[in-house]
Amino acid sequence: MSQRFTPIFVVFLFVLAACGNNSPDAARTAAASTLDAQLVEAQAQIALQTSQAEQATLKAELQGLEATNEALRLSGTGTAGAEATFETIEPQLISPRGAACRIGPNAAFAKAADLGAGEAIAVIGRSSDGEWWQVPKPENAGETCWVFWDSDLDFLGDVYNLPFIDGPALPTNTPAPTRPPGISLNFIQENTCSGSVFFMIAVTNTGPETYESSLINLVDVTAGGQLASSDGNNEFLLTRSSCPKGASTLGSGETAYLAIASGAAPNGNTLRVTVRLCTENGLRGNCISSNTQFSN
Protein backbone atom coordinates (compact mmCIF):
# COMPACT_ATOMS: atom_id res chain seq x y z
CA MET A 1 0.00 0.00 0.00
CA SER A 2 2.93 2.35 0.57
CA GLN A 3 3.60 2.45 -3.17
CA ARG A 4 0.04 3.42 -4.17
CA PHE A 5 0.78 7.18 -4.19
CA THR A 6 4.50 7.25 -5.16
CA PRO A 7 3.58 9.08 -8.41
CA ILE A 8 3.32 12.22 -6.24
CA PHE A 9 7.09 12.48 -6.25
CA VAL A 10 6.98 12.48 -10.01
CA VAL A 11 4.66 15.45 -9.70
CA PHE A 12 7.25 17.35 -7.65
CA LEU A 13 10.05 16.47 -10.08
CA PHE A 14 7.82 17.69 -12.87
CA VAL A 15 7.19 20.92 -10.97
CA LEU A 16 10.93 21.45 -10.35
CA ALA A 17 11.76 20.81 -13.98
CA ALA A 18 9.04 23.17 -15.06
CA CYS A 19 10.54 25.92 -12.88
CA GLY A 20 13.49 26.10 -15.26
CA ASN A 21 11.14 26.80 -18.15
CA ASN A 22 9.53 30.06 -18.99
CA SER A 23 5.96 28.81 -17.99
CA PRO A 24 5.81 28.13 -14.21
CA ASP A 25 2.02 28.61 -14.09
CA ALA A 26 1.55 25.90 -16.71
CA ALA A 27 3.70 23.51 -14.68
CA ARG A 28 1.78 24.12 -11.48
CA THR A 29 -1.52 23.64 -13.29
CA ALA A 30 -0.36 20.33 -14.73
CA ALA A 31 0.77 19.17 -11.26
CA ALA A 32 -2.58 20.12 -9.72
CA SER A 33 -4.47 18.17 -12.40
CA THR A 34 -2.40 15.08 -11.72
CA LEU A 35 -2.93 15.52 -7.97
CA ASP A 36 -6.70 15.83 -8.48
CA ALA A 37 -6.73 12.43 -10.15
CA GLN A 38 -4.76 10.94 -7.26
CA LEU A 39 -7.16 12.40 -4.70
CA VAL A 40 -10.15 10.88 -6.50
CA GLU A 41 -8.36 7.52 -6.56
CA ALA A 42 -7.55 7.76 -2.85
CA GLN A 43 -11.14 8.61 -1.92
CA ALA A 44 -12.41 5.66 -3.97
CA GLN A 45 -9.94 3.33 -2.25
CA ILE A 46 -11.03 4.49 1.21
CA ALA A 47 -14.70 3.97 0.34
CA LEU A 48 -14.00 0.34 -0.59
CA GLN A 49 -12.21 -0.60 2.63
CA THR A 50 -13.97 -2.69 5.27
CA SER A 51 -11.14 -2.68 7.83
CA GLN A 52 -10.62 0.22 10.22
CA ALA A 53 -6.87 -0.34 10.05
CA GLU A 54 -6.86 -0.07 6.25
CA GLN A 55 -9.05 3.01 6.41
CA ALA A 56 -6.66 4.65 8.87
CA THR A 57 -3.67 3.99 6.60
CA LEU A 58 -5.43 5.31 3.52
CA LYS A 59 -6.71 8.28 5.48
CA ALA A 60 -3.14 9.23 6.42
CA GLU A 61 -2.08 9.02 2.78
CA LEU A 62 -5.05 11.11 1.73
CA GLN A 63 -4.20 13.75 4.31
CA GLY A 64 -0.71 13.96 2.80
CA LEU A 65 -2.21 14.53 -0.62
CA GLU A 66 -4.59 17.14 0.81
CA ALA A 67 -1.65 19.01 2.35
CA THR A 68 0.12 19.08 -1.00
CA ASN A 69 -3.06 20.18 -2.72
CA GLU A 70 -3.48 22.97 -0.16
CA ALA A 71 0.04 24.20 -0.91
CA LEU A 72 -0.77 24.28 -4.62
CA ARG A 73 -4.10 25.95 -3.93
CA LEU A 74 -2.40 28.72 -1.98
CA SER A 75 -0.04 29.20 -4.91
CA GLY A 76 -3.05 29.72 -7.13
CA THR A 77 -3.19 26.36 -8.91
CA GLY A 78 -5.31 24.18 -6.55
CA THR A 79 -8.86 23.25 -7.61
CA ALA A 80 -12.09 23.05 -5.64
CA GLY A 81 -12.81 19.59 -7.06
CA ALA A 82 -9.94 18.08 -5.08
CA GLU A 83 -11.09 19.24 -1.64
CA ALA A 84 -13.33 16.27 -0.71
CA THR A 85 -12.05 14.48 2.40
CA PHE A 86 -12.63 11.14 4.16
CA GLU A 87 -14.91 12.82 6.68
CA THR A 88 -17.16 14.28 3.96
CA ILE A 89 -18.03 10.85 2.51
CA GLU A 90 -21.54 10.07 3.77
CA PRO A 91 -21.49 7.13 6.24
CA GLN A 92 -23.10 4.17 4.52
CA LEU A 93 -23.32 0.40 4.84
CA ILE A 94 -23.66 -2.32 2.22
CA SER A 95 -24.86 -5.86 2.82
CA PRO A 96 -23.56 -8.08 0.01
CA ARG A 97 -26.32 -10.66 0.59
CA GLY A 98 -29.08 -8.34 1.82
CA ALA A 99 -30.22 -8.00 5.42
CA ALA A 100 -33.31 -7.71 7.59
CA CYS A 101 -34.04 -4.26 8.98
CA ARG A 102 -35.97 -4.45 12.26
CA ILE A 103 -38.17 -2.01 14.18
CA GLY A 104 -35.66 -1.92 17.05
CA PRO A 105 -32.09 -3.02 17.84
CA ASN A 106 -32.90 -6.57 18.89
CA ALA A 107 -33.71 -9.77 17.01
CA ALA A 108 -36.95 -10.00 19.01
CA PHE A 109 -38.33 -6.96 17.17
CA ALA A 110 -40.44 -7.55 14.07
CA LYS A 111 -38.87 -7.03 10.67
CA ALA A 112 -39.70 -3.62 9.22
CA ALA A 113 -38.03 -3.96 5.80
CA ASP A 114 -35.41 -5.80 3.77
CA LEU A 115 -32.17 -4.27 2.50
CA GLY A 116 -31.34 -5.24 -1.06
CA ALA A 117 -28.16 -7.21 -1.72
CA GLY A 118 -25.29 -4.87 -2.56
CA GLU A 119 -27.41 -1.76 -1.95
CA ALA A 120 -25.69 1.15 -0.18
CA ILE A 121 -27.81 2.88 2.45
CA ALA A 122 -27.03 5.83 4.72
CA VAL A 123 -26.18 5.12 8.37
CA ILE A 124 -27.63 7.42 11.03
CA GLY A 125 -26.17 6.00 14.23
CA ARG A 126 -25.40 2.95 16.37
CA SER A 127 -27.23 1.23 19.19
CA SER A 128 -25.99 1.79 22.73
CA ASP A 129 -24.38 -1.67 22.76
CA GLY A 130 -22.71 -0.98 19.39
CA GLU A 131 -24.19 -4.08 17.74
CA TRP A 132 -26.88 -2.50 15.55
CA TRP A 133 -26.90 0.30 12.94
CA GLN A 134 -29.81 2.68 12.52
CA VAL A 135 -30.66 3.44 8.88
CA PRO A 136 -33.54 5.09 7.00
CA LYS A 137 -36.31 2.64 6.20
CA PRO A 138 -35.93 1.77 2.50
CA GLU A 139 -39.62 2.22 1.65
CA ASN A 140 -40.03 5.36 3.78
CA ALA A 141 -37.05 7.62 4.42
CA GLY A 142 -39.05 9.41 7.13
CA GLU A 143 -38.87 6.29 9.31
CA THR A 144 -35.90 4.29 10.55
CA CYS A 145 -35.05 0.66 11.21
CA TRP A 146 -32.09 -1.29 12.58
CA VAL A 147 -29.56 -3.62 10.93
CA PHE A 148 -27.47 -6.09 12.93
CA TRP A 149 -23.69 -5.65 12.64
CA ASP A 150 -23.01 -8.78 10.62
CA SER A 151 -19.44 -9.65 9.65
CA ASP A 152 -20.42 -9.39 5.98
CA LEU A 153 -21.33 -5.70 6.16
CA ASP A 154 -19.18 -3.26 4.19
CA PHE A 155 -18.92 0.38 5.25
CA LEU A 156 -18.29 3.66 3.47
CA GLY A 157 -17.17 6.82 5.22
CA ASP A 158 -16.47 7.42 8.90
CA VAL A 159 -19.21 5.25 10.43
CA TYR A 160 -17.32 4.66 13.68
CA ASN A 161 -17.79 8.23 14.93
CA LEU A 162 -21.57 8.19 14.48
CA PRO A 163 -23.60 8.89 17.63
CA PHE A 164 -24.98 6.15 19.86
CA ILE A 165 -28.78 6.09 19.74
CA ASP A 166 -31.20 4.47 22.18
CA GLY A 167 -33.65 2.28 20.30
CA PRO A 168 -37.21 1.52 21.34
CA ALA A 169 -37.73 -0.76 24.31
CA LEU A 170 -38.76 -4.34 23.72
CA PRO A 171 -42.51 -4.79 24.15
CA THR A 172 -43.51 -6.80 27.19
CA ASN A 173 -45.35 -10.03 26.50
CA THR A 174 -48.81 -9.81 27.97
CA PRO A 175 -50.16 -13.31 28.54
CA ALA A 176 -53.48 -14.02 26.95
CA PRO A 177 -56.30 -13.95 29.47
CA THR A 178 -57.15 -17.40 30.78
CA ARG A 179 -60.74 -18.42 30.27
CA PRO A 180 -62.44 -19.68 33.41
CA PRO A 181 -63.88 -23.19 33.34
CA GLY A 182 -67.42 -23.27 32.02
CA ILE A 183 -70.02 -25.32 30.16
CA SER A 184 -73.29 -24.43 28.45
CA LEU A 185 -76.28 -26.77 28.08
CA ASN A 186 -79.19 -26.96 25.64
CA PHE A 187 -81.98 -29.49 25.30
CA ILE A 188 -82.02 -30.73 21.69
CA GLN A 189 -84.51 -33.55 21.16
CA GLU A 190 -85.76 -36.97 22.19
CA ASN A 191 -83.92 -39.97 20.78
CA THR A 192 -84.84 -43.66 20.89
CA CYS A 193 -82.06 -46.16 21.48
CA SER A 194 -82.79 -49.92 21.83
CA GLY A 195 -86.44 -49.18 22.58
CA SER A 196 -85.69 -46.64 25.30
CA VAL A 197 -86.36 -42.90 25.05
CA PHE A 198 -83.53 -40.50 25.88
CA PHE A 199 -83.38 -36.74 26.16
CA MET A 200 -80.40 -35.42 24.17
CA ILE A 201 -78.55 -32.51 25.82
CA ALA A 202 -75.91 -30.53 23.90
CA VAL A 203 -72.98 -29.54 26.11
CA THR A 204 -70.31 -27.04 25.02
CA ASN A 205 -67.03 -26.70 26.88
CA THR A 206 -66.39 -22.92 27.07
CA GLY A 207 -63.32 -23.17 29.32
CA PRO A 208 -59.72 -24.33 28.92
CA GLU A 209 -59.99 -27.76 30.58
CA THR A 210 -60.66 -31.19 29.10
CA TYR A 211 -63.35 -33.33 30.73
CA GLU A 212 -63.32 -37.13 30.95
CA SER A 213 -66.39 -38.11 32.99
CA SER A 214 -69.95 -36.89 33.59
CA LEU A 215 -72.91 -37.11 35.96
CA ILE A 216 -76.43 -36.27 34.70
CA ASN A 217 -79.58 -35.84 36.85
CA LEU A 218 -83.11 -35.35 35.49
CA VAL A 219 -85.70 -33.75 37.81
CA ASP A 220 -89.42 -33.09 37.25
CA VAL A 221 -89.78 -29.48 38.41
CA THR A 222 -93.56 -29.47 38.01
CA ALA A 223 -94.36 -32.67 39.89
CA GLY A 224 -91.23 -32.78 42.01
CA GLY A 225 -88.85 -35.67 42.34
CA GLN A 226 -85.93 -37.13 40.41
CA LEU A 227 -86.74 -39.03 37.25
CA ALA A 228 -83.34 -40.41 36.20
CA SER A 229 -79.61 -40.30 36.82
CA SER A 230 -76.60 -41.43 34.83
CA ASP A 231 -72.87 -41.27 35.44
CA GLY A 232 -69.81 -42.77 33.85
CA ASN A 233 -67.02 -42.42 31.34
CA ASN A 234 -67.17 -42.31 27.55
CA GLU A 235 -70.45 -40.41 27.70
CA PHE A 236 -69.72 -37.71 25.09
CA LEU A 237 -71.75 -38.53 21.96
CA LEU A 238 -70.65 -37.08 18.63
CA THR A 239 -74.09 -36.42 17.12
CA ARG A 240 -77.57 -35.68 18.37
CA SER A 241 -78.81 -39.01 17.00
CA SER A 242 -76.04 -41.13 18.57
CA CYS A 243 -76.71 -43.68 21.26
CA PRO A 244 -74.57 -44.31 24.34
CA LYS A 245 -71.62 -44.88 24.65
CA GLY A 246 -69.55 -42.15 23.08
CA ALA A 247 -66.15 -40.42 23.10
CA SER A 248 -63.90 -40.42 26.15
CA THR A 249 -63.20 -36.68 26.39
CA LEU A 250 -64.71 -33.24 25.80
CA GLY A 251 -61.93 -30.78 24.91
CA SER A 252 -61.82 -27.01 25.21
CA GLY A 253 -64.24 -25.36 22.76
CA GLU A 254 -65.83 -28.67 21.75
CA THR A 255 -69.53 -29.58 21.73
CA ALA A 256 -70.86 -33.08 22.38
CA TYR A 257 -74.17 -34.65 23.36
CA LEU A 258 -75.21 -36.32 26.59
CA ALA A 259 -78.13 -38.75 26.78
CA ILE A 260 -80.37 -39.18 29.84
CA ALA A 261 -83.28 -41.60 30.00
CA SER A 262 -86.64 -39.79 30.00
CA GLY A 263 -87.83 -41.71 33.04
CA ALA A 264 -91.47 -41.66 31.80
CA ALA A 265 -91.69 -37.94 32.38
CA PRO A 266 -95.30 -36.65 32.04
CA ASN A 267 -95.98 -34.60 28.94
CA GLY A 268 -96.15 -30.84 29.53
CA ASN A 269 -94.16 -30.86 32.74
CA THR A 270 -91.12 -28.64 33.24
CA LEU A 271 -87.96 -30.71 33.54
CA ARG A 272 -84.49 -29.74 34.74
CA VAL A 273 -81.26 -31.43 33.71
CA THR A 274 -78.14 -30.91 35.85
CA VAL A 275 -74.78 -31.91 34.36
CA ARG A 276 -71.54 -32.33 36.29
CA LEU A 277 -68.30 -32.79 34.31
CA CYS A 278 -64.91 -33.75 35.76
CA THR A 279 -61.37 -33.67 34.35
CA GLU A 280 -60.59 -37.26 35.38
CA ASN A 281 -62.38 -40.59 35.04
CA GLY A 282 -64.67 -41.63 37.85
CA LEU A 283 -65.85 -38.05 38.55
CA ARG A 284 -62.47 -37.06 39.95
CA GLY A 285 -60.23 -34.05 39.36
CA ASN A 286 -61.62 -30.58 38.74
CA CYS A 287 -65.39 -30.64 38.31
CA ILE A 288 -67.94 -28.13 37.09
CA SER A 289 -71.75 -28.16 37.06
CA SER A 290 -74.53 -26.47 35.13
CA ASN A 291 -78.23 -27.01 34.49
CA THR A 292 -80.96 -26.20 32.00
CA GLN A 293 -84.77 -26.48 32.00
CA PHE A 294 -87.16 -27.47 29.24
CA SER A 295 -90.74 -28.70 28.79
CA ASN A 296 -91.44 -32.28 27.89
pLDDT higher for 47 or 282? 282
As a whole number, the mean pLDDT across the chain is 79
By the 8 A CB rule, do 41 and 1 touch?
A: no
Q: Which of 148, 145, 126, 120 is nearest to 135 (CA)?
A: 145
pLDDT higher for 5 or 166? 166
Which of 18-27, 48-57, 58-67 has the least mean pLDDT? 18-27
Q: Average pLDDT for residues 120-129, to the nearest whole number?
A: 92
Confidence class for position 27, pLDDT limits 50, 70, 90: low
Q: For the chain, what are the domain ranges?
A: 7-80, 92-165, 183-295
Cα R_g (the chain), whole angstroms:
42
Is there a common fold for 92-165 and 183-295? no
By the 8 A CB rule, do 291 and 273 touch?
A: yes
Q: Concatenate the DSSP letters of all residues of 113-139 into one string.
A: EEEPTT-EEE--EEETTSSEEEEEETT
Q: pLDDT tens digit string along 237-250?
A: 999 999 888 889 99
pLDDT higher for 198 or 69? 198
Q: pLDDT tens digit string along 109-120?
A: 989 999 889 989
By the 8 A CB rule, do 257 and 204 touch?
A: no
Q: pLDDT tens digit string along 201-238?
A: 999 999 999 999 999 999 999 988 899 998 877 789 99
Residue 140 has a pLDDT of 82
Q: Concatenate the DSSP letters of all residues of 208-223 into one string.
A: S--B-EEEEEEEETTT
Spatial distance between the Cα atoms of 11 and 148, rounded to a whole number of angstroms = 45
Q: pLDDT tens digit string along 165-197?
A: 998 888 777 676 778 999 999 999 999 988 889
Other residues' Cβ atoms within 10 Å of the Cβ of residue 195: 5
The CATH architecture to which 183-295 belongs is: Sandwich (2.60)
Other residues' Cβ atoms within 10 Å of the Cβ of residue 8: 16
With a pLDDT cut of 70, the percent of the chain lying above it is 70
Confidence class for position 264, pLDDT limits 50, 70, 90: confident
By the 8 A CB rule, do 146 and 137 touch?
A: no
Q: Average pLDDT for residues 137-156, to the nearest whole number?
A: 87
pLDDT higher for 89 or 209? 209
Q: pTM (2 decimals)?
A: 0.44
Say which CATH class 92-165 falls into: mainly beta
Which of 81-90, 96-105, 160-169, 233-242 has the least mean pLDDT? 81-90
